[in-house]
Every structure is written in structure tokens, then in C-alpha cells.
């Protein structure tokens, strides 16, 4: 009965596209235990090391004991607890927005937001390299869905010049710091183009929050763009070390999402302990800038070292540093060679990235020590010379 699926799986294997999960048997600052061996972890989005920060863990534990393991209900029924409310207020303040709304994950935040705001009379246009959750959201919205070439504000402008008049609403979507390419879009220009054409902008700052900007507020702060009128989406699962997604923006937008976003309404609230953890993580971000400083120090060390090792970088704008690695199979071989050398840096293959652009994606943490980075650089030098 399921033979066609077995054939499909065989095909994936033959193409070097088969996927499986590796278990992280234990974690310790910059390392993970895989198959009983400690490896330097270059695979986490835990940029500031907050998943295990004592204050964050203590906040989660306290909420866990007070409110229990699960929320027990959807947010609009019995699933809203004080940590959810406090976190929404804190996120709105942190993002300098009027209000914010939590979703169980970032994926669901994107899905719920785009589908609630747009319908068949509308146009949504996004960067070609936007995250899968944004693409799925655009498709599901029923709006006309277009993409513009990566980080190209001129092409966005041209597309909107041609099309704007045919639609009721226009939503422009870009990531702030691209998750697989590790680069920044020309955000000031994109903001301007969206405004010129009377369009809204949804900024997915999943990887930038806590990382970019003087206070870690994200890419708007990095570029010095006033946040008024911009819909800022983010996740609690990367620098904030927990799980959950959110949108921050004008009150009317947030109120509408609370009333219409299906991935907010028809799902159980994230556990209060996760919200409490993220709330404490936000406080740590505000009160302990040392983690962001260490992260950026590590980013500089890592990029300088990779260049010295003659490894070809795809970008060098922040803590996601993707490295060119050849075909899908070559990428898998390199990732395995790195693992053998004590470094966990996974290969990223299509459809996560466009066909023919497989890569090794490295991501840095504030918790990596100088010795770990030196050792990891040695492994990269060896693997790229010998694979």
C-alpha cells in the first residue's frame, strides 16, 4: 500500500536529500553530546546561550511549579496566564510597538498573520529567500503571491509600480537577517518602497532579535529605522532561548490578529513556563549586554579564522555564517568529515535552500570559548582540504 512512498524515499536517498534527526544527548555551553561523543555545536540558534542561563531556567521552573506543565486550553478560552500577558507587554515595549501577540511558534505567527490580514483581493510580495513559514503563509492567504529577487529593493519597486493599483491591500515581507544566507536586506530602501506604494511591511526578525541593534531590538534598531507602522514578527526560540512566536505592531493589527488569526485561536497556548522563560530572557538581554558582546566577538573570530583557512563564505554579516560546500553529496560528506573531527555543523540542502546551493551552515553562540573556535577552525581547514 505504501510502496510509492518507499520509492519516494529511495529517490531522496539517491539524490543526497534524505533527512533524519540527530539526538543531542546532552548540552554543555558550546558543545553537544552526539553518539556518546562531545562535539562543538555550530548548529544552534541559541545565539546568546540563554536556553540554559540560570535566570531563565529559574523563571521557567518557578512558572512550571505555579502553573503546571501545560496551558490546558487555547489563549481565548482558559489558556492565558500572567506570564503570557506580561511577555506580550514586554515584547511590545522591547520592539517599541503599540502591542504584541504571542503564538505557540514563530511558524504559526507567520501563518496566522498573513492569512488574517490578506485575502483574494490583495497582493503579497516577498523576498525570494524568505523562510518556508512565510511562503506557506502567503500561499494559504489566497492573495496574489509574488517574489522579488533576494534583497533587491529596486525590483520590488518595479513590481509594485506595475501591480499596486490592481489590489486592495499590499503586504511586503522580508526577513531582517536571513536564516540560511546570513545576510541583511537593504531594509531602509524596502521600508521606503513599501510606504511609497501604500503597502504594509512584515519584517521577520526571527534571527535578529537579541542579536542586532545596540540594545538587541533587531534590524530596525540596527538600521535606525523608526518602528511605527511596521509589523515586526519574531520567535522566542532563537536568541530568547525558549519557544513561541510573536507579532508586534499597531494596536489595530494586533487586535485583528487576536480576533482572526486561526493559528492563534485554534490551538493550545504555549506552556506558561515557556513564556516566563522568554520574559526573563528579554530582561537578561536588557540587563546583561555582555552576552551580545561575546557573541559578536565570536562572530569576528570565526569569520577571520575561516577566511584564513581559505574556506569560501556565502556571507559575513552576523552569527549565521554559511559556507560553500559543493553538491548535495559533497555537502553531506563535508558535514560528516566535520563531525568526525569533533564539530557539529550540518549541511543544508534543497528545498531548504535553492537547488544547487547546498551549504554548511555555521551559527555562533556567546558561549563558544576561544579554544572551541580554534579547534573548530582546525577541523574546517582539515575537512575542506581532505574531503
Residues annotated as catalytic (active site), given as ranges:
179, 207, 238
Minimum separation from the CB atom of position 223 to ligand PLP (A): 17
Q: Which three cell numbers stand for residue 328?
A: 548535495
**Neighbouring residues of 339: CB distance < 8 A, sequence distance ≥ 6:** 34, 39
Q: How far apart are CA 27 and CA 306, in angstroms?
A: 25
Where does 150-282 show beta strands of DSSP type E? 170-175, 200-204, 231-235, 245-249
Vertex 179: Cα angle to 159 and 31 (nearest 5):
175
Minimum separation from the CB atom of position 74 to ligand PLP (A): 18
Minimum separation from the CB atom of position 351 to ligand PLP (A): 15
Minimum separation from the CB atom of position 77 to ligand PLP (A): 23
- In the chain the first and final C-alpha atoms are separated, in Å, by 40
Q: Measured from the CB atom, is 175 or 372 closer to ligand PLP?
A: 175
Binding site for ligand PLP (CB under 6 A): 105-107, 110, 131, 133, 175, 179, 204, 206-207, 235, 237, 245
Q: Measured from the CB atom, is 206 or 311 closer to ligand PLP?
A: 206
Q: How far apart are CA 171 and CA 168, in angstroms?
A: 10
Q: Measured from the CB atom, is 105 or 341 closer to ligand PLP?
A: 105
Q: Measured from the CB atom, is 264 or 380 closer to ligand PLP?
A: 264
- Give the containing element (helix H, strand E) for 64: helix 54-67
Query: Which residue minimizes CB distance to ligand PLP?
Result: 106
Strand 123-127, strand 144-148: pairing: parallel
**Neighbouring residues of 206: CB distance < 8 A, sequence distance ≥ 6:** 106, 131, 175, 176, 179, 233, 234, 235, 238
Using CA atoms, how far residue 83 sits from 46, 234, 271, in Å, is: 21, 18, 9
Q: Measured from the CB atom, is 263 or 328 closer to ligand PLP?
A: 263
Minimum separation from the CB atom of position 369 to ligand PLP (A): 26
Amino acid at each position: 500500500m505504501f510502496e510509492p512512498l518507499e520509492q519516494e524515499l529511495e529517490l531522496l536517498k539517491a539524490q543526497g536529500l534524505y533527512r533524519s534527526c540527530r539526538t543531542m544527548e546532552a548540552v554543555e555551553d558550546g558543545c553537544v553530546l552526539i553518539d556518546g561523543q562531545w562535539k562543538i555545536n555550530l548548529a544552534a540558534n541559541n545565539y546568546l546561550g540563554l536556553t540554559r542561563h540560570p535566570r531563565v531556567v529559574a523563571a521557567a521552573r518557578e512558572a512550571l511549579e505555579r502553573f503546571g506543565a501545560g496551558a490546558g486550553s487555547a489563549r481565548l478560552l482558559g489558556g492565558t496566564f500572567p506570564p503570557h500577558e506580561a511577555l506580550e507587554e514586554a515584547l511590545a515595549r522591547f520592539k517599541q510597538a503599540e502591542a504584541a501577540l504571542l503564538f505557540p511558534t514563530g511558524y504559526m505567527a507567520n501563518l496566522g498573520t498573513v492569512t488574517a490580514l490578506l485575502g483574494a483581493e490583495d497582493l503579497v510580495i516577498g523576498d525570494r529567500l524568505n523562510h518556508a513559514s512565510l511562503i506557506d503563509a502567503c500561499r494559504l492567504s489566497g492573495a496574489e503571491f509574488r517574489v522579488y529577487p533576494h534583497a533587491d529593493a529596486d525590483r520590488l519597486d518595479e513590481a509594485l509600480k506595475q501591480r499596486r493599483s490592481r489590489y486592495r491591500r499590499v503586504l511586503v515581507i522580508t526577513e531582517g537577517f536571513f536564516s540560511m544566507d546570513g545576510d541583511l536586506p537593504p531594509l531602509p530602501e524596502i521600508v521606503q518602497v513599501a510606504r511609497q506604494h501604500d503597502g504594509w511591511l512584515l519584517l521577520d526578525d526571527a534571527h535578529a532579535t537579541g542579536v542586532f541593534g545596540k540594545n538587541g531590538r533587531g534590524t530596525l534598531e540596527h538600521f535606525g529605522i523608526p518602528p511605527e507602522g511596521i509589523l515586526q514578527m519574531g520567535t522566542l526560540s532563537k536568541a530568547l532561548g525558549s519557544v513561541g512566536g510573536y507579532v508586534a505592531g499597531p494596536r489595530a493589527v494586533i487586535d485583528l490578529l487576536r480576533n482572526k488569526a486561526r493559528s492563534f485561536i485554534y490551538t493550545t497556548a504555549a506552556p506558561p513556563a515557556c513564556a516566563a522563560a522568554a520574559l526573563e530572557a528579554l530582561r537578561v538581554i536588557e540587563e546583561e549586554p555582555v552576552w551580545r558582546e561575546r557573541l559578536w566577538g565570536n562572530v569576528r573570530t570565526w569569520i577571520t579564522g575561516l577566511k584564513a583557512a581559505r574556506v569560501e563564505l556565502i556571507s559575513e554579516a552576523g552569527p549565521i555564517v554559511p559556507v560553500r560546500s559543493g553538491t548535495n553529496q559533497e555537502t553531506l560528506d563535508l558535514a560528516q568529515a566535520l563531525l568526525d573531527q569533533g564539530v557539529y555543523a550540518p549541511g543544508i540542502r534543497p528545498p531548504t535552500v535553492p537547488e544547487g546551493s547546498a551549504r554548511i551552515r555555521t551559527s555562533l553562540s556567546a558561549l563558544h570559548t576561544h579554544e572551541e573556535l580554534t579547534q573548530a577552525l582546525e577541523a574546517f581547514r582539515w575537512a575542506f582540504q581532505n574531503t
